[in-house]
Structure 1
Amino acid sequence: MKKRYFPILLALAAAHLSFAEALPGTPASTNAPGADYPRILSDNRILFQIEAPNAQTIAFHTDKTYPASKDDKGIWTATTDPQVPGFHYYWLVIDDVRVNDPASETFYGTGKQTSGIEVPESGDAGAYYQTQNVPHGEIRERWYHSSVTEGPRRFFLYTPPGYDQSPDTRYPVLFLQHGGGEDERAWPIQGRVANIMDNLIAAGEAEPMLFVMERGYALRPGEEPIPFRMGPDVSMEELNRQMLKRFASFEAVILEDVIPLIDAKYRTIPDRHHRAIAGFSMGGFQAYMIGLQNLDTFASIGGLSGTGHFGTADIDPETYYGGVFADPDAFNEKMDLMFFGHGTHEPERMMDGFNAFHANLTRVGIDHVYFKSEGTGHEWLTERRNLRELAKRLFK
């Protein structure tokens, strides 16, 4: 290359560096490789930008919808309010069409592949779900043929550090379910399960255990899906009946397919005292539904922003899940752990139900651990915190 081109190249490089330094905030860790936007500002606002000169309107939706403004080059920009740290789904609305952001990685949530963004916590507050210099476990993918659905299914499995190097060691198992609109990838990816457990185990704060993360939907051959209907005309009693019917086949998958497979193929301790079930939101309802109806299988149950009863009505201990709470002293003696946690800023209708469920358990006399995540809503930071607190208490 001739020397006369060097000054030009140096000038271009300097201009690029100057432009990069001038951009506010920092690119999100969830951006597609090389994408400068979205950017996280110092006060946790998110700066979105996209080039679309022919669009008529564009908005970005995170906690709410933020209309974008267009400059003379066809670049649209929007800035959100300050966001709670942690993981959030988001999307664009371009001329009334909901689309993903090409500058972002996508994640299965809201019933489809959806853009997502990670807002970092300040200081060391989020260190427990970050990758640290500690021994690491593994996330394993397992396909199998279901006898219930008569088709292929998949779960993800977390094995703790040293699993393959300790062939004589057996482990307790937590069956951990995702929320509505998500699938078996949610806890390994959005929930940061492996990092949370690796760090807790390294610190001596949690027992080494296996995690099984299945897809929370199942239909037998010929079975029609039961729609999830909510609204002012649907009573809480009807909603509870809907949910029990909706997840009956999934319960069979866990009991008839997954548990036998896990116990046969992995080094578990196959008894109820070393088997727990928990879940986020919809998965929390599934955990209580399956756990309370199968106390010979599970001795620990966890609801993470999810309860075993919709609405605010009193639970009748004589009829609730066949009278499982009718003798609270016997129930408490039988169970190792009942855990219930949620954020302090969950949606109002959910908060009413969460407060009522905690009050019901207390009134009926059911021993339980009650945890509140301060300042968070129905989102993944709440559930990472919930899981941390649950895991510390399991199998002790």
Structure 2
Amino acid sequence: MKRAAAVLFAAMAAIGSASAQTAAPVIVEDFKPSSVNQPGQPYPQVNSQGYVRFRVTAPDAQAVKVSLGLGGRGGTVLTRAADGTWTGTTEGPLDEGFHYYHLTVDGGTFNDPGTLNFYGSTRWESGIEVPAHDADFYALKDVPHGRVEQVLFPSASTGTQRRAFVYTPPGYDQAQRARYPVLYLQHGWGEDETAWSNQGHANLIMDNLIAAGKATPFIIVMTYGMTNDVRPGSPGGLASFDIKPFQTVLVNELIPYVDTHFRTKADQGHRAMAGLSMGGFETKLIAPKNLDKFAYIGLLSGGTVSVDDVNGTPGYKEKVKLTFVSFGSRELEGRGMGGPPGAPRADPRATAAALKAAGINSVFYVSPNTGHEFLSWRRSLHEMAPLLFRN
């Protein structure tokens, strides 16, 4: 009897343990407004666990849903209250960092009036920031700040005036005789030239690195990487994107404009190109074919550079001073066909190691616990910037 009772007790304990494991998580009620909310707006809110709570006012609506991520993947259904507000909390915590989202109200797509808008998915999207444990490197601090300014440059090849944003480092306006290296930094698919300073905080990352003496001061140029109307839903999608027109804009029009209008070190050894996602794809297509222009190459969730790529590019070994490749860890978890956006088909760790073995200055970085998202790319820029333009 004692043995039978012991077995029964053990079985009940196991059942209780299993039930505990499948029980709904306890959500901590310490929600605070997101740091990218509109001034004075209390929602959306984020708690210490990374859960997000949304509330919108739509008294005449029949159904309200929140869709998160590029392309609106996932969703949180909101519940209507008697006062006409709709409230809901994500089923689980979100990864740290920045996330796009939008509202679906009775089948229509709308932005959340409670938060700021950011250009992504080829439209202005709502955004939310889940505080990161390492956010200090892109925080706004009491340090000397650089300046981000809009410039309009003529493009004869497209028959337009095109826009770029230019970051000049702290002290640029005062040091009238100083000249600076330049990084041409490209955005991702569906984004535009505002992305790296708005979503990416590239200027704050650089300000903090320079203030800490960890990076050489340099100029960053960010421009729109598309020259046609290709969209994700259009025939062929990104596969039909022709790089040649944008290469003409960048190499033949923008670089000469920047070298004329800013105090640059206008030579190959002081010029870099990098980009996230599609911007990395563009970098890989443009920079190796223009090694008289670029000495540093960075692909952030934008593919890899293999030994075959190097061997097939005359002058790569001699002229390229750094090949930087990075991914979010969740992208590597889904490596191969059917994985998340940005997932590489080949093993980028092995590719980077092969480059090192071949004598190439190759640096490979993985952002922990992030996917195809801006915290991966903020961290990647933070890792890459100190490696650029070193003596």
TM, length-normalised to structure 1: 0.82
1:138 paired to 2:147: yes
Correspondence for 2:311 among 321, 325, 337: 325
Instruction: Give how far 1:78 is off.
Output: 0.9
Q: 2-side partners of 1:354 and 1:339: how far apart?
A: 18
Matched, 1:105 2:91: no
Cα 1:267/1:100, change in 2 over 3 Å? same
Residue-by-residue CA offset, 1:201-258 (whole Å, 9 max, x unaligned): 0101100000000001114xxxxx5566899xx8xxx976x44x2x211110001111
CA 1:372–1:361: 2 relative to 1, 3 Å: closer
Any conservation in 2 of the 1:108–1:185 contact (CA below 8 Å)? yes
Q: Label 1:256 to 1:110 Cα distance change in 2 as closer, same or farther (>3 A).
A: same
Hey, what's the Cα distance between the residues in 2 that align with 1:110 and 1:160?
30
Distance 1:248 1:361, change over 3 A: farther
C-alpha contact 2:342 2:372 (8 A) present in aligned 1: no
Code of the aligned partner of 2:53? L
State how far apart, in whole Å, the 1-side matches of 2:147 and 2:32 are.
30
**Which structure 1 residue ranges, 5 or more long, are not aligned?**
1-22, 220-224, 310-314
Residue 260 of structure 1 is matched in structure 2 by 256
Tell me the equivalent position of 1:192. Answer: 201
Residues 1:395 and 2:386 aligned together? no
CA distance in 1, matches of 2:193, 2:318: 33
Number of positions where the alignment pairs a residue of Structure 1 with one of Structure 2: 348
In structure 2, how many angstroms separate the alpha carbons of the residues matched to 1:390 and 1:182?
21
Query: After TM superposition, which residue ranges in structure 1, 4 or more long, deviate above 3 angstroms?
Result: 225-231, 349-352, 354-367
**Cα-to-partner distance string for 1:87-114 (whole Å, 9 max, x where unaligned):** 1111111112111111111111111011
**Equivalent residue, structure 2, for 1:88:** 99
Q: Give SS of 1:353's match.
A: coil
Q: For residues 195 and 368 of structure 2, what CA distance do their matches in structure 1 show?
A: 22
Give the equivalent residue in structure 2 for 1:7.
none
Match of 1:13 in 2: none
Identity, in percent, stands at 41
Out of 158, 166, 182, the residue aligned to residue 173 of structure 1 is 182
In the alignment, structure 2 segments of 5+ residues that lack a partner are: 1-28
For residue 332 of structure 1, report the CA deviation from its aligned partner: 2.7
User: Which residue number in structure 2 is paired with residue 372 of structure 1?
Assistant: 366
Distance 1:203 1:89, change over 3 A: same
Q: In 2, distance between residues paired with 1:144 and 1:351? A: 31
CA drift at 1:392: 1.0
Determine helix, strand or coil for the equivalent of 1:293: helix
| Structure 1 counterpart of 2:217, one-letter code | P
C-alpha displacement of 1:29? 1.6
Matched, 1:29 2:29: no
Superposition RMSD on alpha carbons, in Å?
A: 2.4
Q: 1:24–1:39: 8 Å Cα contact kept in structure 2? A: no
Deviation at 1:357, TM superposition (A): 4.5
- Shift in CA distance, 229/325, structure 1 to aligned 2, threshold 3 Å: farther
Contact preservation (8 Å) 2:370, 2:376? yes
